[in-house]
Amino acid sequence: MIGLLQRVTQASVEVAGETVGEIGTGLLVLVGVEKCDDASCPAHLLERLLGYRVFPDEAGRMNRSLQDIGGGLLLVPQFTLAADTHKGTRPSFSSAAPPEVGKALFDEMLCLARERHPHHVASGVFGADMKVSLVNDGPVTFWLQVHPRKT
Tens of pLDDT, residues 28-41: 999 999 999 999 99
The model's confidence at residue 84, banded by pLDDT at 50, 70 and 90, is confident
Quote the pLDDT of residue 151.
63
The yes-or-no verdict on residue 150 having pLDDT over 80 is no
For residue 53, give every residue at least 6 positions away whose Cβ sits within 8 Å of its Cβ, in sequence order, or none.
62, 63, 64, 65, 68
Catalytic residue, from 55, 79, 106, 126: name it: 79
The percent of residues above 70 in pLDDT, for the chain, comes to 99
Reply yes or no on whether 79 is catalytic: yes
pLDDT of 149 reads 82
80 is catalytic: yes
Q: Residue 13: pLDDT above 90?
A: yes
What are the chain's domains?
2-145 (3.50.80.10)
Task: Verify whether residue 10 is a known catalytic residue.
Answer: no
